[in-house]
Structure 1
Amino acid sequence: MSMIAPHSGRSLSGIRVIDVSRVLAGPLCGQMLADMGADVIKVEAPTGDENRQWAPIADDGESCNFMSVNRGKRGITLNLKDPEGRQVLYALLEQADVLLYSFLPGTAATLGIDPAMLRERFPRLVICGISAFGAQGELADRPGYDALFQAFSGIMSFTGERNGGPVRSGVSFVDMTTGILAYSGVLTALMGREQTQQGTLVHASLLETAVFLLGYHGVGWLSTGALPRREGSGLWSLVPYQVFACQDGEVLTGALNDSTWRRLCRCVGRPDLENDPDLATNAGRLARRDEVIDEFKRIFASGTVAEWMARLEAGGVPIAPLHTIAQALTHPQSLANDMVVEVDSGNGAPLKLLGTGFKVGAGPHHSPRRPPRLGEHADEILRDIAGLSAERIQALRARGVV
């Protein structure tokens, strides 16, 4: 199998992915591959992916967590603890380009997912393993979830209010970014296979993602020894740059550099601040941080969100209203960029899901297939891909393998 023209919105048509991963990171990677045209087979244990049970639960009984990362896939259940279940998996891998899995090394081996063995048996297969603590080191066999790595990586140590405790981010950004990085790794491996005709191993982990996301904070400590501090909605290294309360809501704005500081002072009608030599540089403003912040709190409390948005946007100062999710997902700009999409729910009503975070060519930019119900496509997958007869499928069902 090979990829088609790179300018098509379905540029992964012809690529088949077997997704035995669970929860968020691996399934998100699989969803992104499906959105770009890959045939993604979601393989679950007979009891289902654990995130089918996670709240919130939609009116039709489906988990919103599961639906958020499984669009575009066909679904089958396989008991990989049963030798016959593993043989069915191998039959699927014979016709596949990519395997996604997220089991601990010991569990993976028990379930027949030994990367070394699979590479020998399926030399063109790209095998992507997603773990908690990475493939190497004494913690490689330890499980983990998103919030654990917000803590372990140090990210949580500088997230929260100045005089408060550490705060977990409201979104599972470590999990989700791990899925995005896994997607990048899979595409890189597929491109390499075009040249070598050989698959390879790809690995991503929550630990590596979280440390990678430290970005300039991590480089700052490596270079200067400076540890970032909690500053609520603000940033420890810039003043002012945070959320300010207005008469009818809140906005996030501030000065990312000294020229923006001067424009900000003009927009709010404060030439005295602009002309204060002690505040002309960010270093000077940091030295008088509390004074500057208190002054801008008073300034923004004197007007409405709309008034400040108009004045600062006209003056070239970055500003954004503090939206709820409802406001963000109904905003014309989000809708104009296809960040809310509809697929057929199967019951006659459209199912609204989030769009993909990048676009390729003219589209389409997402798969029209809704997330699969547990084991929904087992017969067609076993028949058309694994090549099993109706009698064999029936026997596997009777044994509880599918």
Structure 2
Amino acid sequence: MTTALKGLKVLDFTQMMTGPMATMMLADSGADVIKVEQPEGDPFRKSGETTLGGDGVFFLAINRNKRGITLDLKSDSGKEAARALAAGADVLVENFRPGFTEKVGLSYEELREINPRLIYCSITGFGHSGPDAKRPALDQIIQAMSGLMQITGTPESGPLKTGFPFSDLATALIATTGILTAMHARERTGEGQRVDLSMMDASIFSLVPRDVYFDATGKTPPLMGNEHWDIVPNNTYKTLDDRDIMIITINDKFWHILCEGLGASQLKTDPRFATKNARLNNRQACDAELAEIFATRTLAEWDQALSAVGAIYGPVRTWPEVFSDQHTVDNLLKTLEHPKAGTFKVINNPLQFSATPNEIVMAPPTLGQHNDTILTGGCGTAWQSGNV
């Protein structure tokens, strides 16, 4: 078996998270990704308080399966080397601030002259035009400005960011889709194209399906924490052993199933809760009834009881529980050997292919690790030396 993108040549000028995450997805599927860093390195190498072998763990988490070089794009030799690599690439991905690639001679317009088949993916914070185009963008800023924080949190907390870099991740996944879509188009036309995506646009897109709700009502969904404005119950409840369990009943059928699992059949016909509208109108009473019931048994006991009836629920698991789960250990964790960082585990690509499986074959590169093999002897032969 071979990987799906074996032979695809990707020139990666991205840094921090959203771009490197996208190119890592391509690399996992077999693309030969050359990560190009400035001489001082991707800022993510020094981001965060935890490092392994001198590199930040955030950098190590999203740069596997790539070869790495350093180029000073402000020097003539660096620009020349970058253009030579671009001439032989299938895909180029960059997330510089707008205007930088034009300054250094790496704009799409210039590179398509020497490589008409090039797919050029440009990721920005706010797009290439408008008053915000050149302002710096990080995940939390985009979450704030896109409206995501307005639907995350509680009335007491106020707007909150998500517990993970949602805007970075969403943008990376959409960018990967865009690159693969352009590759499919190139199969028909023989020509590359530019793929543009901003973190702001990707984050606003992720508000789906609340867009139609807002258009129809003019209302912003309220801050409700673990609750849902249109579903009751949709909340977490404390168990006897002070754990949390997430409960959702999307319709009356699943309300009845939940009541059976709780041993509280009387709630099925209680006029306050018997229908969806009744439960919405009596939200606090419903939550109070369920909170009292869930407090009578441990999480393990409720897990068994609710599983038996087919209720929609989930224990709120701790990270040690998640990362020691047998499925996670067997399918999603991969141990890498790094020349400086030693051994560490990463989360494997979750896509499962029957004929072209993803692979993790290389640890993230050290700074400039492949300068000799890629840059020595001319960039024209660099793509023939890939080992992914």
Q: TM-score, normalised by structure 1?
A: 0.90
CA offset at residue 364 of structure 1?
Answer: 4.0
Q: Which residue of 1 aligns with 2:286?
A: 292
Q: Which residue of 1 aligns with 2:328?
A: 334
Cα distance change, pair 225–387 in 1 and its aligned pair in 2 (3 A): closer
- In the alignment, which of 51, 64, 67 is matched to residue 74 of structure 1? 67
Whether 1:323 aligns to 2:317 is yes
| Residues 3-402 of structure 1 mapped to structure 2, 5 A cutoff | 10-248=3-241, 249-336=243-330, 338-346=331-339, 350-362=343-355, 364-383=357-376, 386-387=379-380
Amino acid at match of 1:167: L
Cα distance change, pair 159–176 in 1 and its aligned pair in 2 (3 A): same
Partners of 2:218 and 2:283 in 1: how far apart? 21
What does the per-residue CA deviation read over 1:193-222, in whole Å, with 9 as the maximum and x for residues that have no partner? 111111111112111111111012222101
Partners of 2:114 and 2:131 in 1: how far apart? 29
Q: Which residue of 1 aligns with 2:385?
A: none
Is the contact between residue 86 and residue 111 of structure 2 (CA under 8 Å) also seen in structure 1?
A: no
CA offset at residue 140 of structure 1?
Answer: 2.5
Is the contact between residue 48 and residue 374 of structure 1 (CA under 8 Å) also seen in structure 2?
A: yes
How many residues align? The count is 381
What does the per-residue CA deviation read over 1:325-356, in whole Å, with 9 as the maximum and x for residues that have no partner? 222122112234x2111222236953311111
3-state secondary structure, aligned to 2:376: helix
CA offset at residue 92 of structure 1?
Answer: 0.8
Partners of 2:35 and 2:87 in 1: how far apart? 16
Amino acid at match of 1:243: T
Partners of 2:178 and 2:378 in 1: how far apart? 25
Superposition RMSD in Å: 1.9
Amino acid at match of 1:278: R
Partners of 1:355 and 1:388 in 2: how far apart? 31
Q: Which moved more, 1:339-348 or 1:253-262?
A: 339-348
Cα distance change, pair 94–238 in 1 and its aligned pair in 2 (3 A): same
Q: Which residue of 2 aligns with 1:4?
A: none
CA offset at residue 19 of structure 1?
Answer: 0.3
Partners of 2:95 and 2:196 in 1: how far apart? 10
Q: Which moved more, 1:293-302 or 1:55-64?
A: 55-64
3-state secondary structure, aligned to 1:215: coil
Cα distance change, pair 319–72 in 1 and its aligned pair in 2 (3 A): same
Is the contact between residue 9 and residue 36 of structure 1 (CA under 8 Å) also seen in structure 2?
A: no
Amino acid at match of 1:325: W
Partners of 1:119 and 1:296 in 2: how far apart? 62
3-state secondary structure, aligned to 1:105: coil
3-state secondary structure, aligned to 1:279: coil
What does the per-residue CA deviation read over 1:51-93, in whole Å, with 9 as the maximum and x for residues that have no partner? 1111142342321110111010000000001121000001111
Amino acid at match of 1:308: W
Amino acid at match of 1:326: P
Amino acid at match of 2:354: G
Is the contact between residue 28 and residue 69 of structure 1 (CA under 8 Å) also seen in structure 2?
A: yes
Q: Which residue of 1 aligns with 2:386?
A: none
Amino acid at match of 1:66: F
CA offset at residue 270 of structure 1?
Answer: 1.5
3-state secondary structure, aligned to 2:154: coil
CA offset at residue 385 of structure 1?
Answer: 6.2
CA offset at residue 309 of structure 1?
Answer: 0.8
Amino acid at match of 2:237: F
Partners of 1:129 and 1:143 in 2: how far apart? 15
Partners of 1:72 and 1:385 in 2: how far apart? 22
CA offset at residue 388 of structure 1?
Answer: 8.2
Partners of 1:283 and 1:154 in 2: how far apart? 28
Is the contact between residue 125 and residue 133 of structure 2 (CA under 8 Å) also seen in structure 1?
A: yes
How many percent identity over aligned positions? Answer: 35
Q: TM-score, normalised by structure 2?
A: 0.93
Q: Stretches of 4+ moved more than 6 A in 1?
A: none
Q: Which moved more, 1:223-232 or 1:174-183?
A: 223-232
Is the contact between residue 53 and residue 340 of structure 2 (CA under 8 Å) also seen in structure 1?
A: no
Is the contact between residue 323 and residue 329 of structure 2 (CA under 8 Å) also seen in structure 1?
A: yes
Cα distance change, pair 273–9 in 1 and its aligned pair in 2 (3 A): farther
Partners of 2:203 and 2:22 in 1: how far apart? 17
Partners of 1:301 and 1:207 in 2: how far apart? 42
